[in-house]
Structure 1
Amino acid sequence: MVLQLPPLNALRAFEAAGRYESFSRAAEELGVSHSSISRHVRGLEDRLGVQLFRDLPRGLELSQYGAAYLAQVSPALEAIAFATEGLMEVPQGTVWVNSETLFATKWLVPRLGAFKELHPDVEIRLEASRQLADVARYETDLAIRFVGPGGRYDNSSLISDAELHPYASPSLIRTPPSAPRDLLNYPLLRDRTSGTWNLWFELAGGVDPDEVPEFSWRMSSHLEVEAALSGQGVLLISDEVVADEVAAGRLVRLSDVGFREGGYHVLHGEGVLRRKAVRVFHEWLLAETEGWRSGQIR
């Protein structure tokens, strides 16, 4: 039996465009031009005799035929990719990672060089954002997010549930305070949505809740770290993301009183770990953070 198969490049272009419902995003993923994706998709439509996409004022949308075709083409291309990677002795390919900004800048980026030395044929494409990429729709291979108490995602693994402690630059506070209330003499940096300082003072004791000041500094967490590094206030943050700053002497921990507010998790789509390149990065990430989960690192 002779199989009726369209050109593979046309299928890859359609599959990527269908996942994103965007020719531009598909072009970025495949490393080709927008016009190349459009040309392949239009050629595929001519070959099949159906319209796979509809152009709408808000952008591109899969047609009824396109959605049905994508549902069958995506698993087929995945199966081919998995079978091909299974024959390779070393992992290779591209892994797309979407990460919460603070974890990306302060923990992941400084360690990517070590991963590259282990797996030189694996390319990591990292995007840092507050918006969670949809792993179920394959917008990214892996997504790293901080999950609060009681929160959970399907197909996820805990990276770290390190405790939160107060930190400051030695230029602001040279020696740890003798009592928790001494921190009230300094600006207390606060995330835009977090109420963790009130909880910390409650645990540390010796401070009436009414004494905790209103916060004039409210900023995203990665900017909090930069403010603390420049000596502008005291930071209450989980230990793993400032570990490098502490090791370098740029921040000092001010108290051993700490608590857990949640943890960082890595999320993945159904079946994506069958890809060798994604799997080795996922395994490396969990191995590198094992100490933060077991409480060995303090």
Structure 2
Amino acid sequence: MSSSRKRLPPLNTIAAFEASARLMSFTSAAAELSLSQGAVSRQIQRLEERIGTALFERRHKKIELTKAGDIFYRAICESLVSIRRAVMDIERLNSTHVTISASLAMSSFWIMPAILKFKHLAPEINISILANDQVLDPFRDAVDLAILYGDGAWPDLNSYKLFDEKIFPVCSDSYATEHMIKSIDDLKRCTLIEVVSENSVCGSWEDWFNQIGYTGKFGNTQPLQVSNYDLAYRAAEAGQGITLAWNYGPQEILRSKRLIRPVDEYVDTGMAEYLVTGLSSAERPAIDRVRALLIEYSKGEGAAVF
């Protein structure tokens, strides 16, 4: 038997410790493991003797992790995440079902058109889109691909940059003409529409004006706030005001001139959208195929407008 194997505590003692630490109760751990409370206590004691230090502080009617116990518990949690990830990868090894997680806006304005575009190119692949502003993590969650907003610094993920984020005002052509919008100063006469969102570092008009360095004065009228980008763009299309758009979002709306850029200024936020997979994900032809198609789409019909 190898020395590394000899140093590994018995697995039943690890199971007893994990349940006790998670539930903070020997009694609850015993019920979960279908053991007596005494049996769990003996396994914890055996584990502590094996490691050579106390893992719990026993107090009246409650237990707490010691520093050593906290270190050991965090290591076990990380190991369980890897094990669960491996089990999911194995179960889906030959699956042609691919799940993609993305924000509501990215799902609506970019992923859906992409999937519809190349559905005929890979009819054997069943693609599910999980649209939620709490985007799932392919390393930890049951999802194959995700589009994450950020700086790309995710150590557990393989990432491919799709778009750098640039944000600019948009409105209908008739609205720009009616309000004679030629410069940023002209926006003070406009109804400003903004989305209440935390999905961008430049999501509000106040953020946008600050980041382009605008020092002019505006009235006391507050922007018209809506809950999502679809409502904002619909309102702008209907001539109700001017809103902010990002360069990889409503491409079709911009290319069809239903919305235009009335001024040239834009903010380059330094952030980007990344297509990511888990670093330890098992290779699956279906995932590789969808990933390649999304990257190809991002360079062609789905490319940023500038």
From the superposition, tell whether residues 187 and 280 of structure 1 become closer, same or farther in structure 2 (CA, over 3 Å).
Answer: same
Equivalence map 1:193-212=2 (5 Å): 193=197, 194=202, 196-201=204-209, 207-208=215-216
From the superposition, tell whether residues 291 and 257 of structure 1 become closer, same or farther in structure 2 (CA, over 3 Å).
Answer: farther
Deviation at 1:270, TM superposition (A): 3.1
Residue 249 of structure 2: SS of its match in structure 1?
Answer: helix
From the superposition, tell whether residues 288 and 273 of structure 1 become closer, same or farther in structure 2 (CA, over 3 Å).
Answer: farther
Q: Does 1:181 align with 2:190?
A: no
Partner of 2:109: 106
CA–CA separation in structure 2 for the residues paired with 1:100 and 1:80: 26
Partner of 2:240: 232
CA–CA separation in structure 2 for the residues paired with 1:242 and 1:226: 11
2:267 counterpart letter in structure 1: F
2:237 counterpart letter in structure 1: L
Partner of 2:275: 266
- The answer to which of 72-81 and 131-140 deviates more is 72-81
Q: Which has the larger radius of gyration?
A: 2
Residue 274 of structure 1: SS of its match in structure 2?
Answer: coil
CA–CA separation in structure 2 for the residues paired with 1:97 and 1:146: 14
Partner of 1:153: 154
TM-score (norm 2): 0.61
CA–CA separation in structure 1 for the residues paired with 2:100 and 2:277: 10
Residue 143 of structure 1: SS of its match in structure 2?
Answer: strand
Deviation at 1:293, TM superposition (A): 11
2:86 counterpart letter in structure 1: P
> For 1:10-62, what per-residue CA distance to the aligned partner results, in whole angstroms no more than 9, with x for missing partners?
xxxxxxxxxxxxxxxxxxxxxxxxxxxxxxxxxxxxxxxx87xxxxxxxxxxx
CA–CA separation in structure 2 for the residues paired with 1:69 and 1:145: 24
- Return 5+ residue gaps in structure 2 as ranges: 1-32, 35-77
CA–CA separation in structure 2 for the residues paired with 1:128 and 1:292: 22
CA–CA separation in structure 1 for the residues paired with 2:282 and 2:186: 49
From the superposition, tell whether residues 213 and 202 of structure 1 become closer, same or farther in structure 2 (CA, over 3 Å).
Answer: farther
CA–CA separation in structure 2 for the residues paired with 1:76 and 1:203: 46
CA–CA separation in structure 2 for the residues paired with 1:80 and 1:199: 46
Identity of counterpart residues, as a percentage?
21
Equivalence map 1:130-149=2 (5 Å): 130-147=133-150
Deviation at 1:177, TM superposition (A): 2.2
Considering only aligned residues, what root-mean-square deviation do their CA atoms show, in Å?
3.5
From the superposition, tell whether residues 99 and 73 of structure 1 become closer, same or farther in structure 2 (CA, over 3 Å).
Answer: closer
Deviation at 1:267, TM superposition (A): 2.6
Check the 8 A contact 2:171/2:260 in 1, yes or no: yes
- Return 5+ residue gaps in structure 1 as ranges: 1-49, 52-66, 86-91
TM-score (norm 1): 0.62
